[in-house]
Amino acid sequence: MIPNRQPRYFSRQVIDAQRFYLNLRKDVVDDLAVMSGGLEKCSPDYDNERTSFAHPCIEFVIRGSGTVRFGEVSHPLMPGTVFAYGPRLGHRITSAPDSPLWKYFVVFTGVKSLRLLACCGMGSGSVGHIAQPERVQSVFDDLISQGLGDHADRDRQCATILRYLVLKIGELYRPADDTGAKAFATYERVRSHIAERFVTLTSLAEIATACEVDEAYICRLFRRFGRESPFQYLLHLRLNRAAELLQTTDTLVKDIAASLCFSDAFNFSRTFRHSFGVSPNEFRRRV
């Protein structure tokens, strides 16, 4: 049942919805605050056009088809499509009459709201696809559950879930345009190569040669689709392997360092401590 009192940005062309409302004030000063969210089942004639929108919003399609238009560019909507819009961006969302849209949404605000979108590669007006939509759907379901929960800490819990939702979208996000899709496919190929051979890889040049991709382009791909450089990703995999060896074997620290291509045990120990906050020997004692 849709309540009578609801924000003016909700469309009337919705057959059914499960929505929650939290802080709808315009003077929110928190770093991040969820205003509303939910799941909407659109009518066959759903056609929602806005000249602007006051707050950042993420929408995620789980059923049906339609289009979203930002400016003069239209994008198809289908199960797994995710799109975002925000302050002062006009848009038009329409549903296919023979296959009405079902879509999740979350509206949020706060001084870090736009930065949150940027951290997962989604700016206002971006459209992409989620590779495993059920993983994002489960987070939206949890967001709705907490937003409708019978506890006084709803605001903080929903803000925390929103942060996780955006990170999960960033992990599974695929660009919708052909150019972006090809670039992402190259990124996935390079990342898989690193993941499979991180023990023996020694340089970015070696990765570039094996993947037949320019070194500078690899770095641009990781800045665009990842959250760390190729070297940081490689180092993360090596240190996790080191932690596993420290936990499950009696291999000397210096031998673990050598097996993972660190220059010496001192460099390995310093890097390990910087990443995990403890030395390799202390980590082994703790576990």
Domain range annotation of the chain: 14-175, 177-287
Same fold, 14-175 and 177-287: no
* Distance in angstroms (rounded) separating the CA atoms of residues 58 and 49: 16
Of 87, 84, 86, 56, nearest to 68 (Cα)? 84
Contact 222, 233 (CB under 8 A): yes
CA separation for the pair 103, 7 (Å, rounded): 17
What DSSP designation does 99 have? B
Structure-derived torsion over alpha carbons of residues 12, 14, 16, 18, reported in degrees to the nearest 10: -80
- Alpha-carbon distance of 133 to 79, in angstroms, equals 8
Report the CATH fold assignment for 177-287: Arc Repressor Mutant, subunit A (1.10.10)
pTM for the model stands at 0.70
For the four alpha carbons of 150, 156, 157 and 162, in that order, the dihedral sign comes to positive
Tokens 């970015």 locate to 204
Q: Which residues of 250-287 are buried (b: 16+ CB within 10 A; e: fewer)?
A: eeebeebbeebebeebeebbebbeebeeeebeebbeee
DSSP β-bridge partners for residue 49: 92
Q: Which of 16, 23, 25, 103 is closest to 68 using CA atoms? A: 103
Tokens found for residue 133: 């939509």
Q: Beta-carbon neighbour count of residue 74 at 10 Å?
A: 13
Main-chain dihedrals φ then ψ at residue 209, nearest 5 degrees: -65, -45
Per-residue pLDDT of the chain (287 residues; tens, 9 = 90+): 444 445 555 556 788 889 999 976 655 556 889 999 999 999 999 999 988 888 899 999 999 999 999 988 899 999 999 999 988 888 999 999 999 999 999 999 887 887 887 777 778 888 988 978 999 999 999 999 999 998 888 999 999 999 999 989 988 888 776 667 788 889 889 999 999 999 999 899 999 999 999 999 999 998 877 778 999 999 999 999 999 999 999 999 999 999 999 989 999 999 999 999 999 999 998 87
Bridge-based pairing state of the strands 47-50 and 173-175: unpaired
HSE-CB for 196 with a 13 A CA cutoff: 9
Record the tokens describing residue 257, joined without a space. Answer: 């360092």
Round to the nearest angstrom and report the end-to-end CA distance of the chain: 52
- Give, in words, the CATH class of 14-175: mainly beta
Q: Which helix (H) or strand (E) holds 196?
A: helix 178-197
